[in-house]
Amino acid sequence: MAAPRRRRVDTSGWPTKELILLEASRLFAVRGYLGTSTRDIAAAVGIQQPSMYSHFSSKQAIAEELLRRDLTAGNAALERVAADGGGAPVELYRYLHWEVAHDLATPFDLRSLYLGPLLDQSEFAEGRRLLKRYDALMRSIVERGVAAGDFVEIDPQFAKRLIDGVILEAIRTGALDNRVDDDEPDLTASFVLRALLAKPSRVPSVRTAARTLGAPS
Amino acid sequence: MAAPRRRRVDTSGWPTKELILLEASRLFAVRGYLGTSTRDIAAAVGIQQPSMYSHFSSKQAIAEELLRRDLTAGNAALERVAADGGGAPVELYRYLHWEVAHDLATPFDLRSLYLGPLLDQSEFAEGRRLLKRYDALMRSIVERGVAAGDFVEIDPQFAKRLIDGVILEAIRTGALDNRVDDDEPDLTASFVLRALLAKPSRVPSVRTAARTLGAPS
DNA sequence: GTCTATACCCGGATAGAC
DNA sequence: GTCTATCCGGGTATAGAC
């Protein structure tokens, strides 16, 4: 609970539209989507409130754009990992590593979009559609791992929920400065694999295999 | 994502104040705290909006009461578990088991209170205070487990964050009907212990020892 | 304790000049 | 693309009768 400072980003030269997305994501994270007014966002960017409507047709459109960009990138990474193959443990490790690294590196703060009830609202159907794609891809990996005997015998849907919990925790605290000095993406992926692998002693070899393949860029 | 139905509770004979707390918690969970109006809550209870102010001085007071009850119960369970002793793995198992069972059993739906940015707002200082107590108790267990060599060598603060992620996932999905048929509290606690124990093979004996001690009632 | 009526504020969004 | 001015709806909360 020590002084949660935020990362700093050099925004010089960013177009106004990008600044709106950045500041909106941060205000959404701290005050929530509904707790953030379009006047708050405009003030953070340094423009007047109606000027935002030259870039976005509504406040909702800002949140949609943030969701679209993030979920598209995540799904693309997950698809590349699955296409590269290597077996469910390696694929899961590689995706978790990418996801946590992504959460730590992105200037946007997407907490409230995934943690709050925002995605449950009918207006955000596109985000839900992209999230379903993620669900299917992730469940496929877990199912293959269980079927192949790589993972412990566990309901794949249940395992996926626990994995989601760990990922959301990374999103939840990724923007804060209270992180450990070590390799957080590796620590997180290893934590999940220790819990899932039928033989936890395989974690080092999975890590090595994943590292050989590199990031799903 | 299959049909998330909600649990049903027999509320016959409940006093109006309790009905307000129940319906408010469920509306907060689905629409968010700010997305829920006092009119919504009153309509769900079956009274007029101003009648709520005979029971609570403000909408915020409703959320505070929900937080106070839940966090007080959780901290009490955690303190009893720690007082009973038995070693960090057993204590962690017992608390996680209690917490998940509690999330599945409570009629209140407290998702938005813990998942959204609500607790970050300055108005909810009491909730933050109670949550700090939880943080200290939980970190103490993890630190003892690492120091004693029961757990893998891991930054205790980092391990606690991952545990929090799993607990929050239980809160996030506990009110839904998409759960597995098996013993979810045990599955969740076992998942975490497999990831944390230096010797994952100890999970069965930890579970047995925890079961012998029973629930921290 | 519950009702009706209402005060009052603040939010999203539009109009139209520059 | 940004500004000022403004509309309108919906939100919290209070007043006061029953």
Distance, CA of B46 to CA of A178 (rounded, Å)? 45
Range 14-43 of A in CB contact (< 8 A) with B:
29-35
What's the farthest any 2 CA atoms get from each other in chain B? 59
CATH superfamily of this structure's domain B60-213: Tetracycline Repressor, domain 2 (1.10.357.10)
Per-residue flag: A59 CB under 7 A of strand C: yes
- Which helix (H) or strand (E) segment holds residue A50: the answer is none
For B195, the token pair is 């990831």
- For chain B, strand residue ranges (E) read none
Contact B78, B134 (CB under 8 A): yes
Q: What is the DSSP string of B177-202?
A: S---SS-HHHHHHHHHHHHHBSSGGG
pTM, rounded to two decimals: 0.96
Q: Report CA(B42)–C1'(D17) in Å, whole number.
A: 21
Q: Per residue in A152-186, pLDDT tens?
A: 999 999 999 999 999 999 999 877 766 777 799 99
Q: Per residue in A12-30, pLDDT tens?
A: 999 999 999 999 999 999 9
Contact B198, A200 (CB under 8 A): no
Contact B60, B123 (CB under 8 A): yes
A59-213 CATH: 1.10.357.10
Is A66 exposed, middle or buried, given 0-12, 13-18 or 19+ CB atoms closer than 10 A? buried
Residue A158 and residue B152: Cβ atoms within 8 Å? no
Distance, CA of A128 to CA of A165 (rounded, Å)? 18
Range 180-209 of A in CB contact (< 8 A) with B:
180, 182, 184, 187-188, 191-192, 194-196, 200
Residue B117 and residue A121: Cβ atoms within 8 Å? no
Counting every residue written for chain B, the total comes to: 217
Domain boundaries, chain B: 60-213
**Interface contact A1, partner B, CB < 8 A:** yes
Contact B86, B209 (CB under 8 A): yes
Per-residue flag: A37 CB under 7 A of strand C: yes
Residue A111 and residue B118: Cβ atoms within 8 Å? no
Nearest CA in chain B to A120: B30
| Count of C-beta atoms within a 10 Å radius of residue B50 | 10
- Closest nucleotide to the alpha carbon of A39, via C1': C11
Give CB contacts under 8 A, 24+ apart, made by A172-176. A172/A111, A172/A115, A172/B165, A172/B168, A173/B161, A174/A100, A174/A103, A174/A104, A175/A6, A175/A7, A175/A29, A175/A103, A175/A109, A175/A111, A176/A4, A176/A5, A176/A6
Contact A88, A150 (CB under 8 A): yes
pLDDT at A33 exceeding the cut of 80: yes
Q: In chain A, pLDDT over 90 holds for what percent of residues?
A: 91
Q: Sign of the CA dihedral A1, B121, A117, A16?
A: negative
Write out chain B's pLDDT in tens, 217 residues: 444 556 789 999 999 999 999 999 999 999 999 999 999 999 999 999 999 999 999 999 999 999 999 999 999 999 999 999 999 999 999 999 999 999 999 999 999 999 999 999 999 999 999 999 999 999 999 999 999 999 999 999 999 999 999 999 999 987 776 677 779 999 999 999 999 999 999 999 999 999 999 999 8
